[in-house]
């Protein structure tokens, strides 16, 4: 019963922490990962991720789970948030179980700290980070199995550990350092690592090597933002040292977190963090017969799992920021484990010195509750940052005023809200900070167009496409602007370029349909509208345009059905009400038509 109540406490506390983001919308690249991901709509999408991967990474198990989520939740973000939260709670329970297997006195506290730690918020609250929340449970199961194997020697347990590790790799390959963690655990347990231990770990190393090579290939050839030369290795190594210290500092003092962090700057030499880290590990090695042994295991897990994401091996995200909270999600287990060990050791020492009693236990329980409450409150507030794009990018600009991406995305959100003048201000700052950003220029072109400066917008779009011909969004925006300017032939070329890069972009299909209709190709236009509706059944503009195409061909009943679908999506869609009225009038249903004309003049509340 006690275990059940403690488990329920973890569930309830985590639910409260992440309550502010559960009913949130898509943020950042959630649309690309889920809402605009055509593979999720394919009947065989669950297995294509394994044999014909088309994304930026080879995370096949994660892709299969996303496919299954789409079949259940569709375009409703709530379901995806609930899955992330459920996986996070499962990981917290498994952290507790792992620490108990290691006979850590504060094992339950370790699981509870993981559940409420602010560094975990980005991974849990951001739908796209399913790869994090999905990879950790099998990794923890593999860890628990390794602990059991070192006690029992059971081959079945060893095979289970290998299978769980393979599953974790198939979710996210940043867990490739697990074989080193196995050897570290063996040293922690016995004080040495034998050739037999290395042989037992060899299949884990082989799996890591294979999946690691695949990840490097995908990052080098497909990942967004991988344009131009990277910083020299020496500069990346210096930045990695500062990042390691920053990650450790934020795991210990998880306040003032940010969606995007600036690179290290200042007068300190780049080698200093590595010297500091070497000194810390040296002291712990010197005290390895005491507390240093446990600290080396916990910090070893922490640092090992950060090695793949430090930027030493080039990766796309380093173009945005040298570090991110979601990179530290798996590593965080090491720090909360050390906190649990320290708490348990302090309680044991106090009870030996002052004697066991209710007062001692109550005092430690009060301290633990205060720590959990403090972290939970911080995480609860930070989770609200991820409820929508406006909150996310406003906070990103506030925390890091030097981030061009934060200004660019905030400007894009302001455009969607119809605040074009304010958006232009933010986007001009983004372009000032990063004049070679095709994304910032494309967003600035949108602002200029909304403000009526079409010529300037076309010039800006052209510059964006020239900077990065592989940026589908720039081609799409350029196509829309050309279409509005009456240059349908050029517009169709831009839409086709966008679709060649991102075949699942439904609005680009719709735009191509409009340009083909303007060129006098109604059959081809209708085909594109149908493809757009297939890709995104909730794209109201595609429903309206498909209805119009059917109306012109005299297929009035089918046109009515499409207009009604558009109104299902947006009951206040005046154009759909008016066109529906026209179709109903042609069918002789005058009373219904009159009602639709009235709704077009006075649309219902949206």
| Domain match, 511 and 601 both | no
What is the model's pLDDT at position 266?
Answer: 60
Q: Is the pLDDT assigned to residue 317 strictly greater than 90?
A: no
Over residues 362-387, the pLDDT tens digits come to 888 899 999 999 999 999 999 999 99
| Domain match, 505 and 603 both | no
| Domain match, 181 and 64 both | yes
The CATH number covering residue 586 comes to: 1.25.40.10
CB 175 within 8 A of CB 168: yes
| Euclidean distance between CA atoms 315 and 186, whole angstroms | 31
| Domain match, 523 and 544 both | no
Longest dimension (CA), the chain: 93
| Domain match, 588 and 503 both | no
Which residue shows structure tokens 């209710």? Answer: 358
| Domain match, 144 and 224 both | yes
Report the number of distinct structural domains present in the chain. 3
CB 62 within 8 A of CB 130: yes
Residue 418 lies in a domain: no
What is the model's pLDDT at position 135?
Answer: 97
Q: Is the pLDDT assigned to residue 218 strictly greater than 90?
A: no
What is the model's pLDDT at position 322?
Answer: 87
Q: Residues with Cβ < 8 Å from 194, sequence gap 6 or more?
A: none
Q: Which of 487, 510, 531 is the last residue of a domain?
A: 531
**Which of 206, 251, 15 has the alpha carbon at shortest distance from 115?**
15
| Structure tokens, 377 | 């409150």
| Euclidean distance between CA atoms 61 and 256, whole angstroms | 34
Q: Which of 508, 531, 554 is the last residue of a domain?
A: 531
| Domain match, 302 and 356 both | yes
Task: List alpha helices for 434-573, DSSP H.
Answer: 438-450, 454-467, 472-484, 488-501, 506-518, 522-535, 540-552, 556-569
Q: Is the pLDDT assigned to residue 198 strictly greater than 80?
A: yes
556 φ/ψ sector (left φ>0, alpha ψ -120 to 50, else beta): alpha
Over residues 562-598, the pLDDT tens digits come to 999 999 999 999 999 999 999 999 999 999 999 999 9
What is the model's pLDDT at position 594?
Answer: 93
Residue 130 lies in a domain: yes
Q: Is the pLDDT assigned to residue 223 strictly greater than 60?
A: no
| Domain match, 347 and 488 both | no
What is the model's pLDDT at position 220?
Answer: 67
Q: Is the pLDDT assigned to residue 448 strictly greater than 90?
A: yes
What is the model's pLDDT at position 36?
Answer: 75
The torsion defined by the Cα of 103, 108, 112 and 117, in degrees rounded to 10, comes to -30
Average pLDDT over every residue of 279-302:
94
| Structure tokens, 115 | 């559940």
Pick the range with the lowest mean pLDDT from 5-19, 224-238, 475-489, 528-542.
224-238
User: For residue 505, what are the domain limits?
Assistant: 469-531
| Domain match, 553 and 571 both | yes
| Helices 195-221/155-171 angle, 10° precision | 20
DSSP label of 175: G
Q: State percent of the chain over pLDDT 90.
A: 75
Q: Which of 531, 548, 563 is the last residue of a domain?
A: 531
CB 322 within 8 A of CB 169: no
| Euclidean distance between CA atoms 577 and 572, whole angstroms | 8
Residue 593 lies in a domain: yes
| Domain match, 36 and 122 both | yes
Q: 227: how many CB neighbours lie within 10 A of its CB?
A: 13
Residue 435 lies in a domain: no
CB 119 within 8 A of CB 125: no
Q: 52: how many CB neighbours lie within 10 A of its CB?
A: 9
| Euclidean distance between CA atoms 546 and 519, whole angstroms | 16
CB 176 within 8 A of CB 308: yes
| Euclidean distance between CA atoms 393 and 258, whole angstroms | 10
What is the model's pLDDT at position 226?
Answer: 42
Rg of the chain over all Cα atoms, to the nearest angstrom: 28
Over residues 458-495, the pLDDT tens digits come to 999 999 999 999 889 899 999 999 999 999 999 999 99
Residue 384 lies in a domain: no
What is the model's pLDDT at position 224?
Answer: 45
| Domain match, 267 and 151 both | yes
Residue 4 lies in a domain: no
Residue 7 lies in a domain: no
- Please provide the average confidence, as pLDDT, over all residues in the chain: 91
Q: Is the pLDDT assigned to residue 228 strictly greater than 60?
A: no
What is the model's pLDDT at position 225?
Answer: 43
Q: Is the pLDDT assigned to residue 219 strictly greater than 60?
A: yes
**Residue 340 host element (H or E):** helix 332-354
Over residues 106-139, the pLDDT tens digits come to 899 999 999 999 999 999 999 999 999 999 999 9
Average pLDDT over every residue of 293-316:
90
| Domain match, 278 and 133 both | yes
| Euclidean distance between CA atoms 572 and 557, whole angstroms | 21
Residue 171's pLDDT band (cuts 50, 70, 90) = very high
| Structure tokens, 570 | 């947006």
- CA–chain centroid gap for 4, Å, is 31
| Euclidean distance between CA atoms 439 and 467, whole angstroms | 10
Residue 265's pLDDT band (cuts 50, 70, 90) = low
| Euclidean distance between CA atoms 95 and 111, whole angstroms | 5
Residue 446 lies in a domain: no
Q: State percent of the chain over pLDDT 70.
A: 96
Over residues 513-543, the pLDDT tens digits come to 999 999 999 999 999 999 999 988 889 999 9
Residue 222's pLDDT band (cuts 50, 70, 90) = low
CA distances from 321 to 302, 396, 559 (A): 20, 12, 48
């Amino acid at each position: 019963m006690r275990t059940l109540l403690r488990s329920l406490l973890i569930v309830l506390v985590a639910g409260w922490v992440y309550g502010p983001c559960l009913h949130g919308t898509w943020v950042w690249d959630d649309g690309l990962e889920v809402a605009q991901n055509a593979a999720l709509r394919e009947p065989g999408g669950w297995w294509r991720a394994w044999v014909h991967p088309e994304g930026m990474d080879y995370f096949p198990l994660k892709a299969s789970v996303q496919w299954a989520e789409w079949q259940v939740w569709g375009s409703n973000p709530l379901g995806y948030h609930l899955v992330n939260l459920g996986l996070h709670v499962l990981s917290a329970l498994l952290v507790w179980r792992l620490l108990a297997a290691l006979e850590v006195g504060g094992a339950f506290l370790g699981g509870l700290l993981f559940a409420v730690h602010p560094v975990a918020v980005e991974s849990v609250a951001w739908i796209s980070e399913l790869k994090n929340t999905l990879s950790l449970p099998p990794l923890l199961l593999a860890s628990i199995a390794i602990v059991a194997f070192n006690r029992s020697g059971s081959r079945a347990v060893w095979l289970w550990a290998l299978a769980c590790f393979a599953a974790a790799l198939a979710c996210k390959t940043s867990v490739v350092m697990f074989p080193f963690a196995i050897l570290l655990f063996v040293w922690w347990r016995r004080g040495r690592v034998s050739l037999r231990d290395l042989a037992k770990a060899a299949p884990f190393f082989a799996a890591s090597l294979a999946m690691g090579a695949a990840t490097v290939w995908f990052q080098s050839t497909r990942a967004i933002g991988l344009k131009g030369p990277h910083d020299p290795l020496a500069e990346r190594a210096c930045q990695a040292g500062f990042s390691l210290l920053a990650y450790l500092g934020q795991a210990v003092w998880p306040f003032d977190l940010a969606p995007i962090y600036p690179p290290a700057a200042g007068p300190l030499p780049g080698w200093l963090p590595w010297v500091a880290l070497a000194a810390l590990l040296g002291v712990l090695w010197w005290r390895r017969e005491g507390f240093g042994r446990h600290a080396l295991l916990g910090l070893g897990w922490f640092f090992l799992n950060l090695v793949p994401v430090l930027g030493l091996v080039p990766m796309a995200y380093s173009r945005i920021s040298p570090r991110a909270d979601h990179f530290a999600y798996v590593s965080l287990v090491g720090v909360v484990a050390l906190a649990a060990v320290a708490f348990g050791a302090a309680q044991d020492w106090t009870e030996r010195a002052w004697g066991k009693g209710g007062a001692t236990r109550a005092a430690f329980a009060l301290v633990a509750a205060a720590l959990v409450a403090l972290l939970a409150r911080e995480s609860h507030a930070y989770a609200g940052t991820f409820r929508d794009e406006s909150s996310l990018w406003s906070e990103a600009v506030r925390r890091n005023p030097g981030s061009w991406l934060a200004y660019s995305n905030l400007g894009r959100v302001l455009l969607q809200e119809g605040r074009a003048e304010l958006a232009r201000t933010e986007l001009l700052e983004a372009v000032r900070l990063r004049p070679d950003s095709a994304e910032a220029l494309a967003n600035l072109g949108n602002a200029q167009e909304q403000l009526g400066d079409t010529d300037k917008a076309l010039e800006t779009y052209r510059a964006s496409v020239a900077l990065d011909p592989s940026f589908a969004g720039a081609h799409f925006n350029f196509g829309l602007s050309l279409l509005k300017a009456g240059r349908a032939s050029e517009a169709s070329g831009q839409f086709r370029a966008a679709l060649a890069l991102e075949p699942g972009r439904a609005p680009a299909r719709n735009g191509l349909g409009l340009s083909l209709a303007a060129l006098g190709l109604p059959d081809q236009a209708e085909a594109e509208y149908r493809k757009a509706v297939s890709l995104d059944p909730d794209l109201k503009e595609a429903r309206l345009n498909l209805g119009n195409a059917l109306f012109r061909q005299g297929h009035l009943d089918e046109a009515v059905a499409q207009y009604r679908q558009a109104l299902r999506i947006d009951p206040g869609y005046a154009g759909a009400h008016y066109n529906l009225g026209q179709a109903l009038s042609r069918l002789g249903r005058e009373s219904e038509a009159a009602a639709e004309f009235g709704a077009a003049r006075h649309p219902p509340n949206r």
